[in-house]
Structure 1
Amino acid sequence: MTDTPRARPLSPHLQVWRWHITMWTSILHRMTGVALYAGALILAGWAIALAAGPEVYGAYKAILGSPLGKLVMFGLTLSLFYHLANGIRHLVWDAGHGLDVKSANASAVAAFAFAAAATIAVWLIAAMTGAL
């Protein structure tokens, strides 16, 4: 027996695989899940500020109404709708449908399109009603 170690097989990694839309949907699903946890903390902070009184609530509302706050809220809205659409996509897969490449790619595009359209619709309605 020799003391030379045998070359171990390399696992496929991001440098090996060609990026495709279903990889993006998987990665973004995880990222939006993390973003929604942050959104839950923002929501909890809003409830605490509301309970703390008008001064604290006014300051919290001012932070959320700032340009950076609105950008964060826009991102959370987009995350919520994307995570919802991709979750429904996974439910369809769990039922055994849409698992072929063509259907998986089409449902990925549909999830992105729904998230963008729903986010824009919510923010347009908010702007038209004076909520912004």
Structure 2
Amino acid sequence: MSSSPLSGDTSNDPADDQTGRFVRQPNGRPRPLSPHLQIWRWHVTMAASILNRMTGSALSVGAVLIALWLLALAFGPDSYATFTGWMGSPLGLLVWFGLTLALFLHLAGGIRHLIWDAGAGLSLKTADALSWASMILGVVGAVAFWVLLFASGRVLL
């Protein structure tokens, strides 16, 4: 299957491109430029995909914090008290809430992808609805988790 222009049609001829839609490769062949963010209109599925990638990166930071927690536990009661003092402060609780939010958003995004991998929910309306549902359920799940922590008295300000 060729995407070359019809003979006599110079409007899409990469060799005569005056529009900047093509770039010349190192081997000399013209190649069409890929559309970028200025061209694509934002969709909720794009936002959910970007959010899923960002939360995955944030969870890497969370893994480092959990490793630091385990190290503080291994180094004895003084180190552990220092770590829990920092992480139990309002700023530390904000960090833990952010990581919890990232965890729930990433989990909900993963479930959305499992549904899509099964071949379901691929129509535009359903994909949009699943994207909205994953983001909303991720936020609601994280908030509910922290409400339960505060209500049970396990976390105090």
Structure 1 length-normalised TM: 0.92
Partner of 1:93 in structure 2?
Answer: 116
Quick one: distance in 2 between partners of 1:91 and 1:107?
11
Q: 1:52 aligns with which of 54, 63, 75?
A: 75
**SS at 1:88's partner residue?**
helix
Give unmatched runs, 5+ long, in structure 1. none
> How far did 1:95 drift?
0.8
Q: Which amino acid aligns with 2:118?
A: A
Q: 1:73 aligns with which of 83, 86, 96?
A: 96
1:10 to partner: Cα distance: 3.2
The secondary structure found in structure 1 opposite 2:104 is helix
Mapped partners of 2:90, 2:16: distance in 1: 58
Structure 2 CA distance for aligned equivalents of residues 74 and 131 of structure 1? 14
RCO higher in structure (CA 8 A, sep ≥6): 1
Which blocks of at least 5 consecutive residues in structure 2 are unaligned?
1-14, 23-31
**In structure 1, how many angstroms separate the alpha carbons of the residues matched to 2:83 and 2:56?**
24
What fraction of aligned residue pairs are identical, expressed as a percent?
52
In structure 2, C-alpha distance between the alignment counterparts of 1:130 and 1:52, rounded to whole Å: 27
- Relative to the length of structure 2, the TM-score reads 0.78
Which structure: greater helix fraction? 1
How many residues in Structure 1 have an aligned counterpart in Structure 2?
Answer: 129
How far residue 117 of structure 1 moved from its aligned partner, in angstroms, is 1.1
Find the structure with the greater CA-based Rg. Answer: 2
Q: CA RMSD in A?
A: 1.4
Q: Which runs of 4+ in 1 moved over 6 A?
A: none
Give, in angstroms, the shift of residue 5 of structure 1.
7.4
CA distance in 1, matches of 2:57, 2:34: 27
